[in-house]
Structure 1
Amino acid sequence: MSYRSKFDIDVSNIPQVFSTSFGNTAVNIGINYNKTGDFYTVDLFDIQNKPIITGEKLIYGKRLWRNSVDERIPAVDLVPLDESGKSNICNKETFGKTVFLFIDTVVEDNG
């Protein structure tokens, strides 16, 4: 069976910042909600909370930071997806319910 790793983000507790690691790179990620536009944004900070990229809009099926070139950006694909196939948009109605932020690397589970 294959699966992608996802972030369990409590959408009732936004804005929020959490720490995570990708290989040897530790970062802080902030999640925000724009009520006027009904979309979420992501902020990327280094481990000292210095901003790397702020206000990146979560767009369904699109890799975060895809248009940015900065050696401080982790070499990992983070993508909002709905593995159930129920939605193809990332907004308040779907994010954290059927649409989640995934690490878009499929891992084989041989267990």
Structure 2
Amino acid sequence: MSFEHIPIEKDMVPYRFEVELGVENFELRVRYNELHDYFTLDVLKDDEVLVYGEKIVYGVPLFSEIHDDRFPAPTIIPMDEAGVETKVSYDTLSKTVFLMVVNKEDE
């Protein structure tokens, strides 16, 4: 089974971009913590910040601890389709680890 993924342009960090998730548009802001080698996401909808600084952790669905109807309908999981990697880092993100979009019908 293959999934869509959200491309992250590491060379541009920090940066923001718009993405369609489900049937809605969101703005994502990507940041990188160089000292501890991890990425975070901010999510905005209609210029309203829904979450600030969500850490991207391998295998953990993004926003899983937040129960709010304004969040994207699909589940977003940082993972390596080959199953080789076990963490999200500058070296792995967008190389072997991707933000996979899993729609309800795919689960």
TM-score relative to the length of structure 1: 0.86
Aligned length: 106
Aligned to 2:72: 74
Report the identity percentage. Answer: 27
Offset, 1:93? 1.6
* Matching of residues 5-16 of structure 1 within 5 Å: 5-16=4-15
Gaps of at least 5 residues in structure 2 are none
Q: Shift of the alpha carbon at 1:104? A: 2.3
**Distance across 2 between alignment mates of 1:12 and 1:107:** 33
Q: CA contact under 8 A between 2:73 and 2:103: conserved in structure 1?
A: no
Letter aligned with residue 57 of structure 1: K
- Look at both structures and tell me which one has the larger radius of gyration over its CA atoms: 1
Matched with 2:60 is 62
1:20-66 C-alpha deviation (Å, 9 max, x unpaired) = 122332111111101121100011001x3221101000000010000
Partner of 1:12: helix, strand, or coil? helix
Deviation at 1:3, TM superposition (A): 1.1
Equivalent residue, structure 1, for 2:40: 41
Between 81-90 and 58-67, report the one with greater CA deviation. Answer: 81-90
Query: RMSD across aligned C-alpha pairs, in angstroms?
Result: 1.8
- Counterpart-to-counterpart distance in 1, 2:105 and 2:84: 22
Map 1:75-94 → 2, pairs under 5 A = 75-94=73-92
Structure 1 stretches lacking a partner, 5+ long: none
SS of the equivalent of 2:3 reads strand
TM-score normalised according to structure 2 size? 0.89
